[in-house]
Structure 1
Amino acid sequence: MPHLSRPVGASAEWWRESVVYQIYPRSFADADGDGVGDLAGITARLGHVAGLGAQAVWLTPIQRSPQADHGYDVSDYCDVDPIFGGMAGFDALVAEARRLGLRVIVDLVPNHCSVAHPLFRAALAAGPGSPERARFHFAPGRGPDGGAPPNDWPSVFGGPAWTRVTEVDGSPGEWYLHLYAPEQPDWNWRDPRTAPFFDEIVRFWFGRGADGLRVDVAHGLFKAEGLPDLEHAGALEPMRLRANPLACDREEVHDVYRRWRAIADSCDPPRALIGEVNLEPGRAGRYTRPDELHQAFAFAFLVAPWDAEAWRAAGTALLAGDPPKAPVTWVVDNHDVVRSASRYGRSRGAARARAALLAVLGLPGAAYLYQGQELGLPQVNVAPEDRRDPAWPRSGVSRDGCRVPLPWRRDPAGAHGFSPPGASSPWLPVPPGWGELSVEAQEADPSSPLRLCRSAVRLRRRLHAEGVLTAGDPVEWAVDGDGRLTAGRAGRFTLVLAMGDDPVRLPPGRLLLASGPLTGAGLLPPDTAAWLLS
């Protein structure tokens, strides 16, 4: 592969304050017309991301996969799936990203793989007690005929976390653990071969051009020794791994990230590790100690209601620490949750989503924006017969509504620009009127979410370049009785959110930007955010 230069003029610690744009490849842009987004489509549309002012892109899994969980079931960690365009497509994407000054973050899935992975297939063939099966969690069932699962753990996707195999001789055999779908067996991280195996995968992607890795289920990996039963397992909610303390946040996992940090730091320039650590802030902070992950996603805002006191409490907890934690990675939208424009309420959600966007861009640290967030896209009600989420048939939870392909223009041909004209139908159907929310439509509207996002990201970058803002700014939070939340940064910059039902006064300072117009009396309307400079 030819040498690829790094973006010019950026700090080696670019991850501390970058705006990162998350791309769900299946739904971003389809170049070859098969109805599924691909890397060539992303490459052709990277100008849109650079035009927003983002400094990096994060790609959800592109590795070779049967796509049972849309890439989170990996069958080859060191190859790109043909559905996305193969490794040549990745190399072309990285080259274009470099040309545009963008860094590239690749998703890594170390908790589980695919049943099609060669090592799991070898484990099935080798039989009980074999070294091949020791790479995973195989165990005999309970009961006289072994017909009950080895323990009572539930899958995050609903149902039991165990599936029984049929042995080579046709007899009912052992069970294997899968904390997600049955097509996703969990690796046994207590096996001494697992850590070196993944060390080489980390090195591969850094060598191939990735500036960072986003680590899926980073709080998972190790399970309690002996795989004991849970208490009250039946009461656990689906989609919440952290509800099972025997399956996540085990102390041994920190040694993995110390190994990976050493690899990342040995690169020139150093690479970044960003963890999906879906734990309470106090526990998540332990993953970003100086010799472990660089950052962990701040999930508290994903679940916080639209309430000033709830946001103050979440923000305070995320920024707390002695010594201070790594700069926070702020996020209010991603590929696993209801889009904020719908999550915050049917009638007021669109305005609140604009305000939330301005909020995460106005706080110290990195901000991750999910594709379509810059367009204010709402959650789509995908018909049950069209849903593709593997969690849907097992738990009744579907994430498809936030994964509907992006609208690029008003023309319904090619699903509003997602695919070329004459292409196959998109893998998830787009709703009527989708084109009115498209990039093309919003470019022409000065008050659109797209124009607001672009202005905010560019202003943020300028304020950082001028030294007005830094990733380590201390924040002073305050909540007033009228629902006004303020976050003051180092006495220079103030973020204000009107989270109540009435307009609120602005604190002293020069108004830089607001997510909506002020009232005639100069007040900040409900569900609106503003930036002020002291």
Structure 2
Amino acid sequence: MTRDDSQRRDDRHWWRDAVIYQVYVRSFADSDGDGIGDLPGIRARLPYLADLGVDAVWITPFYTSPMADGGYDVADYRDVDPLFGTLDDADGLIADAHALGIKVIVDLVPNHTSSDHAWFQAALAAGPGSPERNRYIFRTGRGESGELPPNDWESIFGGGAWTRLPDGDWYLHLFDAAQPDLNWDNPVVHEDFLGILRFWLDLGVDGFRIDVAHGMVKEDGLPDVGATEQRKLLDTRPLPYFDQEGVHEIYREWRKVLDTYQPARIGVAEAWTPGAGRTARYVRPDELHQAFNFHYLTAEWAAPALREVITESLAAMAPVDAPTTWVLSNHDVHRHVTRYGDGEEGLRRARAAALLTLALPGSVYVYQGEELGLPEVLDLPDDALRDPMWERSLRTERGRDGCRVPIPWTTKGSSLGFGPDGSTPWLPQPAHWADMSVEAQVGAAESMLELYREALRLRREHPALGERPALEWHDGDDTLLRFARVDSFTGRRLHCAINFGATPASVPVAGAVLLASGRLGSDSGDVLLPPDTAVWWED
């Protein structure tokens, strides 16, 4: 089915208030029974996304890769790994999505390649000081014989960020050793990625989510950080290998390419920065279109904390006229049901968080399975773990596999509908997920799935939602968050209230209740809002 034209957003600026659904390709839908999700699987499930009501789908990397990091180690940016399908499958998926009114955003990984990439293999063969090695970041080591790494930089996955070759050179990898960092001071790298952009844009994609968008450019001289546990400093202080000024020149180059295509094509930055003001620099008018709002994702479940991050986020984006994005979960962090307390408490809070998030101005990202209320899987067997973080941390950090478990579609079957019956998913699914499957929740009035479907419908149709209608805070306290969205053309107002307290809160509701995340009570004509519950109403 396609959405009615009256419900579509302005195609010239579709990203500004789009709801974008993230598909982690390995874990969404397996068409051939090998236990791993693929492009034909996504293609077959596109009607589900259309019924859910999303505007776009972001698909994680499906390029040729040895899969040292789930596809984020790319060996060929212009082809599809046989594990996931073919270029024809990608072409068909894009065409089908467009026919359903869904935009397609693909992941781009420009900070590093796979060590299997032809460039890196040529660099290994060519030897120290060669033009081939200048495509990456090679250095001699410190110490009497160069036996020490060039500096103190650490890998985000644990351990050091440098690996030494038998010929004595060290190469930089801010992630796994199988992911060598590219040298973006080399014009050859720039030209190749401009060609990669055009390749996928010509195939019809509507944009790129840019992995490690804050990386690529390193501070001159590669100075020491002077601290350990550097991964914990990502959003608290500047680092010499992240958020350097030179990345913005790259995005100005890319924006010129994006602007030559119609309808509008976009770039989305995965940028970890010390503050919202730094994030806003990635979405200046001549750079990218969106940047993930990780400060919102990491905010604690408390009214003052969330009001502060919402206010700061909107204020930071206003001077550059960019939409704010809102995201609760993704493939790199614990699912928010678990972060918010797990169990029934976590689920209540996740339901309320959905209504809070979908009522805010800007664009929203939904991570696959959050519309089902899936929690983090914390008890995966050690021998099932695939995240390179597990081994690189010497098995002290379990990594991100718990948020990547294949999602359940049916109440029965060996993979709960993720793949053909009889197949075994690449990560084991909890048995109780059968009760959280799409099949179990469709049509169930109080299910998380139906809450999302109704919230997305209202968000698409109500004139006071979207990006432009103003946000007005109501008086509240440390336990109650209240605001209104106001459409200046019609005067219609949509109100949202969330109770963060431990006891029910009395909320004056002058108009009609549109949606609530839980059952409401009444108190002398007011709505009695239970703990960890949100409500929308209009007047």
TM-score range, shorter chain: over 0.9
Change (3 A) 1:227 1:486: same
> Which residue is 1:4 aligned to?
none
Conserved? CA contact 1:69–1:390, under 8 Å: yes
The one-letter amino acid of 1:532's match is: W
1:497 match: secondary structure: strand
Conserved? CA contact 2:460–2:466, under 8 Å: no
> Which residue is 1:323 aligned to?
319
> Which residue is 2:81 aligned to?
81
> Which residue is 1:483 aligned to?
479
1:414 match: secondary structure: coil
Conserved? CA contact 2:20–2:364, under 8 Å: yes
Q: How many residues align?
A: 517
> Which residue is 2:496 aligned to?
495
The one-letter amino acid of 1:359's match is: L
Query: How far did residue 223 of structure 1 move?
Result: 0.2
> Which residue is 1:516 aligned to?
518
> Which residue is 1:17 aligned to?
17
Change (3 A) 1:482 1:138: closer
Query: How far did residue 90 of structure 1 move?
Result: 0.6
In structure 1, distance between residues paired with 2:276 and 2:238: 17
Conserved? CA contact 1:215–1:274, under 8 Å: yes
Change (3 A) 1:100 1:106: same
Query: How far did residue 323 of structure 1 move?
Result: 2.2
Bigger shift: residues 441-450 or 130-139:
441-450
In structure 2, distance between residues paired with 1:325 and 1:393: 43
Query: How far did residue 10 of structure 1 move?
Result: 4.5
Conserved? CA contact 1:327–1:472, under 8 Å: no
Q: Deviations over 1:182-231 (max 9, x none)?
A: 11000111112111111111111111110011111111110011111112
Q: Deviations over 1:390-435 (max 9, x none)?
A: 1122231411111000100111x23110110122x21101112221
Query: 1:301 aligned to 296, 307, 327, which one?
Result: 296
> Which residue is 1:405 aligned to?
406
Change (3 A) 1:220 1:477: farther
Conserved? CA contact 1:316–1:477, under 8 Å: no
> Which residue is 1:275 aligned to?
269
2:391 match: secondary structure: helix
TM (norm. structure 2) is: 0.93
Is residue 386 of structure 2 the alignment partner of residue 388 of structure 1?
A: yes
1:526 match: secondary structure: coil
Is residue 202 of structure 2 the alignment partner of residue 207 of structure 1?
A: yes
Q: Gapped runs of 5+ residues in structure 2?
A: 1-6, 488-492
Is residue 350 of structure 2 the alignment partner of residue 353 of structure 1?
A: yes
The one-letter amino acid of 1:312's match is: R
Q: What root-mean-square deviation, in Å, do the aligned CA atoms of Structure 1 and Structure 2 show? A: 1.7
Query: How far did residue 150 of structure 1 move?
Result: 0.7
Change (3 A) 1:325 1:300: farther
2:297 match: secondary structure: helix
Conserved? CA contact 1:108–1:213, under 8 Å: yes
Q: Deviations over 1:89-145 (max 9, x none)?
A: 111111211221111000001111100000011011100000110111001111122
The one-letter amino acid of 1:528's match is: T
The one-letter amino acid of 1:41's match is: G
Conserved? CA contact 1:312–1:477, under 8 Å: no
Is residue 252 of structure 2 the alignment partner of residue 258 of structure 1?
A: yes
2:169 match: secondary structure: strand
2:256 match: secondary structure: helix
Conserved? CA contact 2:182–2:216, under 8 Å: yes
Query: How far did residue 239 of structure 1 move?
Result: 8.8
Query: How far did residue 75 of structure 1 move?
Result: 0.5
> Which residue is 2:490 aligned to?
none
In structure 2, distance between residues paired with 1:89 and 1:385: 32
Conserved? CA contact 1:107–1:216, under 8 Å: yes
Query: 1:473 aligned to 454, 462, 469, which one?
Result: 469
Conserved? CA contact 1:285–1:325, under 8 Å: no
In structure 1, distance between residues paired with 2:177 and 2:237: 19
Change (3 A) 1:418 1:79: same
In structure 2, distance between residues paired with 1:431 and 1:483: 34
The one-letter amino acid of 1:272's match is: I
Q: Deviations over 1:428-453 (max 9, x none)?
A: 01112221110001114210000100
TM (norm. structure 1) is: 0.94
Query: How far did residue 181 of structure 1 move?
Result: 0.7
The one-letter amino acid of 1:489's match is: R
Query: How far did residue 357 of structure 1 move?
Result: 1.1
Query: How far did residue 470 of structure 1 move?
Result: 4.0
Change (3 A) 1:241 1:371: same
Change (3 A) 1:507 1:148: farther
After superposition, residues 451-466 of structure 1 pair within 5 angstroms as 451-463=450-462
Is residue 71 of structure 2 the alignment partner of residue 71 of structure 1?
A: yes
Q: Deviations over 1:60-104 (max 9, x none)?
A: 111111111101100011111110002111111112112211110
After superposition, residues 97-136 of structure 1 pair within 5 angstroms as 97-136=97-136
Is residue 221 of structure 2 the alignment partner of residue 226 of structure 1?
A: yes
Conserved? CA contact 1:482–1:502, under 8 Å: no
> Which residue is 2:414 aligned to?
414
In structure 1, distance between residues paired with 2:87 and 2:241: 34
Change (3 A) 1:324 1:526: farther
The one-letter amino acid of 2:192's match is: F
Identity %: 50
Is residue 287 of structure 2 the alignment partner of residue 292 of structure 1?
A: yes
Conserved? CA contact 2:157–2:389, under 8 Å: yes
Bigger shift: residues 151-160 or 522-531:
522-531
Conserved? CA contact 2:54–2:102, under 8 Å: yes
> Which residue is 2:425 aligned to?
426
1:505 match: secondary structure: strand
Query: How far did residue 520 of structure 1 move?
Result: 4.3
Query: How far did residue 28 of structure 1 move?
Result: 0.3
Query: 1:529 aligned to 524, 528, 534, which one?
Result: 534
The one-letter amino acid of 1:506's match is: V
The one-letter amino acid of 1:336's match is: D
Conserved? CA contact 1:157–1:238, under 8 Å: no
In structure 1, distance between residues paired with 2:9 and 2:198: 25
Bigger shift: residues 8-17 or 153-162:
8-17
1:231 match: secondary structure: coil
> Which residue is 2:43 aligned to?
43
Query: How far did residue 56 of structure 1 move?
Result: 0.7
In structure 2, distance between residues paired with 1:78 and 1:326: 30
2:531 match: secondary structure: coil
1:48 match: secondary structure: helix
1:323 match: secondary structure: helix
> Which residue is 1:362 aligned to?
359
Change (3 A) 1:213 1:242: farther
